[in-house]
Amino acid sequence: MTDQYAPSPLTAEPSMSPALRWDELPEGPVLVLLDQTRLPVEEAELVCTDVPALVQSIRTLAVRGAPLLGIAGAYGVALAATRGYDVDEAAALLAGARPTAVNLGYGVRRALEAHRAAIAGGADQERAAAATLAEAKQLHREDAVASARMAASGLSLLDELLPGGSHRILTHCNTGSLVSGGEGTAFAVALSAHRAGRLRRLWVDETRPLLQGARLTAYEAARNGMAFTLLADNAAGSLFAAGEVDAVLIGADRIAADGSVANKVGSYPLAVQARYHHVPFIVVAPTTTLDLDTPDGASIEVEQRPGQEVTELTAPQAAGAGVEVGGGMPVAPLGTQAYNPAFDVTPPELVTALVTEYGALSPVTRDGIVELCAQARQE
């Protein structure tokens, strides 16, 4: 390989607005989303004035990634409360928008419980709505704090596992500030390595079919001036074989009680390849992604998405390719059936360590997961 360690050019202006924000407009409160289906071509905002609009944005992946889905869900309940809609109905709609990321239901439940507690305490609708919004903002802040802590712990772990201080990290999907109240999960660790002068290269899996790696992680890496290289997902094997990967860092959408990790489809094959090549496979996720109610990997519901995402270039991919959205350009013969799970599940024995806001857990065991949850409840 020749000049792969040359700095990557900065291709995007450092102007990204936050992935979401609450705003009080003269016509009422709104939740403003950075439309991730339009990135990296344009930074377009979507203004949600009601819960069905937010549910639609979640389904189309305009807003996405586990921690951010939790934050969006909580703000969604607050939106219903402040606009005087049925809060229980809104919560049910939001929680059911996508099935795999446990954070979505968690965020919705927290906001709903804040609303119920306020009503039970004698608050009128206005005060109950204010309490719901305060809870959503609190979750937003907590996620930012968790992100910063994971970044610090993750970097310490990398330094411990990989003495020499020049890390070549492979990542999958998108786990940066586009999915978080802070700088993300796995990406935040790579970013702190970059800031410390210890990131030699971030290998970015393109992440078929919706290209979260190519469209979003490459975009965030460029904005941060990181040395990164994009690869087709199926090129990862030869990269491991060439000895070019020191560690794999990914996020998670749900971690079952036994430590099984659901994350973007393509994560499991990376874990298998990493094990074969003796490369650490590290999962970075806040404790809000742990789910003691799901006993094991087989019990995790994996979202199945439309086959057109595989057989056609649909809106998000087209945006990435600079093609007008709505194209649906076929890449397979008409009528081709496609298998399109959005996530896969990696068993805990393939995970070298789980980094949360409470430090690194290694090996990943049921007892360790239970302890982390207890620690999170105490704080």
Q: Which residues are catalytic?
A: 253
d(CA 348, CA 281): 10
DSSP designation for 176: S
342 is an interface residue for ligand MRU by CB under 6 A: yes
d(CA 259, CA 351): 9
- Which residue, 55, 46, 35, is CA-closest to 96? 55
Size of the site for ligand MRU (CB under 6 A): 18
Helix axes 102-120, 87-95, angle to 10 degrees: 170
| Least distance (Å) between residue 243 CB and ligand MRU | 25
| Least distance (Å) between residue 177 CB and ligand MRU | 10
- Please enumerate, by residue number, every residue annotated as part of a binding site: 64-66, 98, 212, 263-264
| Least distance (Å) between residue 367 CB and ligand MRU | 24
In this structure, are residues 64 and 70 in contact, taking their beta carbons and an 8 Å threshold? no
d(CA 153, CA 158): 9
Residue 174: alpha-carbon gap to chain centroid: 6
| Least distance (Å) between residue 342 CB and ligand MRU | 5
| Least distance (Å) between residue 151 CB and ligand MRU | 12
312 is an interface residue for ligand MRU by CB under 6 A: no
70 is an interface residue for ligand MRU by CB under 6 A: no
Q: Please identify which residue in 57, 82, 153, 185 interacts with ligand MRU, judged by CB under 6 A.
A: 185
Give DSSP secondary structure letters for 123-159. --HHHHHHHHHHHHHHHHHHHHHHHHHHHHHHHHHHH
User: Which of 81/262 has CB closer to ligand MRU?
Assistant: 262
Burial of 156 (0-12, 13-18, 19+ CB in 10 A): middle
Structure tokens at 366: 């049921």
| Least distance (Å) between residue 375 CB and ligand MRU | 20
Q: Which stretch binds ligand MRU (CB under 6 A): 71-79, 118-126, 178-186, 292-300?
A: 178-186
- Which residue, 47, 40, 49, is CA-closest to 78? 49
250's enclosing H/E stretch is strand 247-250
- Which residue, 268, 154, 276, 161, is CA-closest to 205? 268
Site string for ligand MRU, 96-115 (x = CB under 6 A): -----x--------------
61 is an interface residue for ligand MRU by CB under 6 A: yes
Site string for ligand MRU, 225-264 (x = CB under 6 A): --------------------------xxx---------xx
- Please enumerate, by residue number, every residue annotated as part of a binding site for substrate: 64-66, 98, 212, 263-264
Q: Please identify which residue in 131, 139, 179, 372 interacts with ligand MRU, judged by CB under 6 A.
A: 179
67 is an interface residue for ligand MRU by CB under 6 A: yes
User: Which of 118/250 has CB closer to ligand MRU?
Assistant: 250
Q: Which stretch binds ligand MRU (CB under 6 A): 45-53, 108-116, 156-164, 179-187?
A: 179-187
Q: Which stretch binds ligand MRU (CB under 6 A): 59-67, 76-84, 89-97, 218-226?
A: 59-67
Contacts of 149 (CB under 8 A, 6+ apart): 357, 358
d(CA 208, CA 197): 30
User: Which of 128/355 has CB closer to ligand MRU?
Assistant: 355
Return the bridge partners of 230, or none. Answer: 204
User: Which of 113/303 has CB closer to ligand MRU?
Assistant: 303
- The contact set with ligand MRU (CB under 6 A) reads 61, 64-67, 101, 173, 175, 179, 184-185, 212, 251-253, 263-264, 342
